Structure 1
Amino acid sequence: MSVAGAGVPVACLRLVHIYPAAAGDVVALSGVDLSISAGEMLALVGPSGSGKSTLVSVLAGLMRPSAGRALVGGHDLARISPRHLAALRGTLIGTVLQGAERNLLPYASLNRNIWLAQRPAARLADRRLDPPEKILDLVGLTGAGRHRTGELTPGQRQRAALALGLAAGPGLLLVDEPTSQLDRTGRDEVLTALETINTERGTTVVVVTHDGEVGARLGRAVTIRDGRVGAEGRDGRDFAVVAGDGTIQLPPEAAAAFPPGTLLAVEHTADSITLRRNTPPAPAGHPDRP
């Protein structure tokens, strides 16, 4: 019998996604390399249009990558059949869309919302699912099973949306901007719920956020810039990331100091790299030249 919620690893290898457009194709992901361990919590941060929501949509099985590989629990989402992909969305992968109301049926109780979300996984003979009451307790909504969406505070609605994402006991939970419309109290309640899910279930959790404090609390924050992994934060420190093709994105402040076309001399030792602007020699007869 499979264990509900047991975390699964995630890997993106040179992942590319292109949106066709009449005015010219738009490259939303341009070679993402990313590895997430089973049971890890990770924040995807970056400005609007950077590609982070596209990346989550690919990992959720909502769109196919144009090139590269996206592996969730060993399943290559770029190569499996549509039927297999749909089955993973109802069992292995849980997704919480931005805006709690988009995840919930307003006319049904929370218990019934969860029951309906569990139906695809319930058809599997080896799948053990928790009752709705236990899932609601996990996100801090004990005793709220008979309530409907309109009877909840904004923070409670967001935690109810998390409960639906957990309904089938996924190994990967993808959450898009869960705190963007909440006050500090509501935000902390949602983050506590995510931490509880991760601790008690071992579920791999990936959160899209604009909030740097959310990224810091999750422990690992990956910045997406221009469709690629630009930087990574761990334990309060930011690091540049070497991509699979050997390229590296400079931090914004460094990129501003070295405009495109700048020639940089690269000096490296076993554990460090120094970039120096190339200064051409002064021409013969120049006052600075002897």
Structure 2
Amino acid sequence: MSPGKPRGGVPVTCHRLIHIYPARAGDVVALSGVDLHIAAGEMLALVGPSGSGKSTLVSVLGGLLRPSAGRVFVGKHELSRLSPSEIAPLRGAVIGTVLQGAHRNLLPYVSVRRNVWLAQRPAARRSGRRADPPEAILELVGLPGAGARLAGDLTPGQRQRAALAVGLAAGPGLLLVDEPTSQLDGPGRDEVLAALASVNAERGTTVVVVTHDAEVGARLGRAVTIRDGRVGAEGRDGRDFAVVAGDGTVQLPPETLEAFPPGTLFAVEHTDGSVTLRASRHTEGP
């Protein structure tokens, strides 16, 4: 494939995804039945507090963790059935991952250009695909002319965009980015979001961003809230929606749970395409 030609994104599908971390004090259920579909070329934010399961979900999507149960597809590849040796060739070429903290993605003592070049070499060698010149990737993320600079000399916002360039080095169809704006000021955040929008618009890359910042989620167009290891809600065009999971359950918004705690009984009325929940005076007891 010639340099600069759009590669297009890949779809992502999770079905009843479960992941459990074994622990002496008791197993920790990080994901408890995630059902999620991301269209090819879509931009999506995974929003939620620390410990909600969003970073675990991204690690599963990146092939870094094997789910305990359920199925996960990235493009035509069912990651949940692949061995580590089968997943390895997909990293970089199909799935690009940008870890939280730009410094974890960069070698500070070499040039930005060489950081990108080093990231694309293994994937290009395995796939036989011609990689884009590092300068073209740096221009895509808003760093034209920065290739000769040492990664350690960049500003925080520039360093994060250089980390994006490393994740994009081999032209993946899916880019996973963990908390890219958490340590940036307003202008730096805007530059990173503009870079992600440019990548999505010009390459068609599917972009998934983990963030605790609801404003960042709103600016990406579609925001999925992860609560207690499940999809709790979804935001589209400034509106929030509850989501029916594959097992038929619906997570109520936190503000609703404050008024109607667990154990509250609801009468469900379904009329003309609308569903109404009416709280009963009775509560579920032992």
Quickly name the TM-score band, shorter chain normalised: over 0.9
Partner of 1:257: 259
Q: TM-score, normalised by structure 1?
A: 0.94
Partner of 1:14: 16
Answering whether residue 201 of structure 2 is matched by residue 194 of structure 1, we say: no
Distance in 2 separating the partners of 1:131 and 1:211: 33
Give the count of matched residue pairs: 280
**For structure 2, which runs of at least 5 residues remain unmatched after alignment?**
none
**Further displaced range: 195-204 or 147-156:** 147-156
Partner of 2:171: 169
2:92–2:168 CA contact under 8 A, matched in 1: no
Distance in 2 separating the partners of 1:272 and 1:106: 56
Alpha-carbon distance, 1:124 to partner:
4.0
Distance in 2 separating the partners of 1:18 and 1:240: 25
Cα distance per residue 1:51-105 (max 9 Å; x no partner): 0000000001111000001110121111012211011113100000010000001
Cα distance per residue 1:220-257 (max 9 Å; x no partner): 00000000000000000000000011100001111111
* 1:132 counterpart (131, 134, 157): 134
Partner of 1:120: 122
Partner of 1:233: 235
Answering whether residue 135 of structure 2 is matched by residue 146 of structure 1, we say: no
* Greater than 4 Å deviation, 4+ residue runs: 1-4
Alpha-carbon distance, 1:123 to partner:
1.3
Partner of 1:273: 275
Q: TM-score, normalised by structure 2?
A: 0.95
Distance in 2 separating the partners of 1:33 and 1:220: 15
**For structure 1, which runs of at least 5 residues remain unmatched after alignment?**
281-290
**Tell me, what secondary structure is at the counterpart of 1:278?**
strand
Distance in 2 separating the partners of 1:223 and 1:122: 35
- Over aligned residues, Cα RMSD in angstroms? 1.3
**Further displaced range: 250-259 or 240-249:** 250-259
Partner of 2:97: 95
User: In structure 1, what residue type is equivalent to 2:107?
Assistant: L
Distance in 1 separating the partners of 2:177 and 2:203: 16
User: In structure 2, what residue type is equivalent to 1:107?
Assistant: Y
1:4–1:168 CA contact under 8 A, matched in 2: no
Partner of 2:226: 224
Alpha-carbon distance, 1:163 to partner:
0.2
**Further displaced range: 214-223 or 143-152:** 143-152
1:4–1:127 CA contact under 8 A, matched in 2: no
User: In structure 2, what residue type is equivalent to 1:58?
Assistant: V
2:6–2:202 CA contact under 8 A, matched in 1: no
Distance in 2 separating the partners of 1:134 and 1:4: 12
**Tell me, what secondary structure is at the counterpart of 2:144?**
coil
Larger Rg belongs to: 1
